[in-house]
Amino acid sequence: MLKKPKTIEEWGKERLRKAKQEKGFVLIPMELWNGEAFHALEKSEKLILLECLSQLRYAPKSEKKRKKIPKDTLFQCGLGWLLNGGEFGLPTKYLQERGIKGEDTIARAKRKLVQVGFMDVVTQGSFRKAGRFRYSDRWRIYNGSALMSEHGEPLYDGPLPGYCHYPNIVKRNVANSRSETTSLDVHEADTLGYVQLDLFTDYAGCSANE
């Protein structure tokens, strides 16, 4: 049974607990700090990136010590060897407690961080469970003058943050269109089965609120 998502107040208590117990630093490579990818981010996106970096846990530099750690939990990248597969979570309520209030702002920021190359999607989120992400080195090859999509976003063909509210709509429309093509002309067959998607694109597509 899935746990109930934490509230903003509960995340606040968690933050205060960590402030008293956790030690260490957030590692920010100068190459990242001065790079084109970081320069391309808005303030909210930079704040969420800091949250990503703060959740990374580093494996020992000694190969002898790393051999004692299960291989499937190690992830090698430009920062070194990371524990937990280099993965982390970014629940919406968690980020709101950190000061980013708008859900749309959070969704856009997550999408931008994936597109620019600071993280990859491991699992899509759902209504009850936040998605998982993994640190990525793709930002090192980010080119600010590279081609953009028609929406002005960096070209990236990998999975983006979000989840599908109604995943069966597309399958249903495809099935309907195929069953009706025998009695329709070509133009009608291309459009009739997809009226629902045209009317409700926000619901048929994927949202990134989690």
Residues 60 and 110 in one domain: yes
Q: Which of 160, 177, 196 is the last residue of a domain?
A: 160
| Rounded-to-integer distance, Cα 69 and Cα 84, Å | 10
Q: Which of 140, 160, 180 is the last residue of a domain?
A: 160
Residues 146 and 199 in one domain: no
Q: What is the pLDDT of residues 159-199, one digit of tens each?
A: 777 654 444 554 555 565 566 544 445 444 444 443 343 33
Residues 58 and 106 in one domain: yes
Query: Domains in the chain: how many in total?
Result: 2
Query: How many angstroms separate the most distant Cα atoms in the chain?
Result: 70
- Spatial contact of 122 and 87, defined as CB atoms under 8 Å apart: yes
> Does some domain include residue 23?
yes
Residues 113 and 205 in one domain: no
> Does some domain include residue 119?
yes
Residues 96 and 28 in one domain: yes
Q: Residue 174 sits in which domain range?
A: 162-210
What pTM was estimated for this model as a whole? 0.69
β pairing state of 132-135 and 119-123: antiparallel
Q: Which of 139, 160, 181 is the last residue of a domain?
A: 160
Residue of 67, 64, 61, 68 lying closest to 82 (CA atoms)? 61
> Does some domain include residue 17?
yes
Q: Helix, strand, or coil here: 34?
A: coil
Burial of 52: CB neighbours in 10 Å, binned 0-12, 13-18, 19+ = buried
> Does some domain include residue 3?
no
- SS3 assignment for 145-210: CCCECCCCCECCCCCCCCEECCCHHHHHHHHHHHHHHHHCCHHHHHHHHHHHHHHCHHHHCEECCC
Q: What is the pLDDT of residues 36-64, one digit of tens each?
A: 999 999 999 999 999 999 999 999 999 99
Q: Is residue 78 pLDDT above 80, yes or no?
A: yes
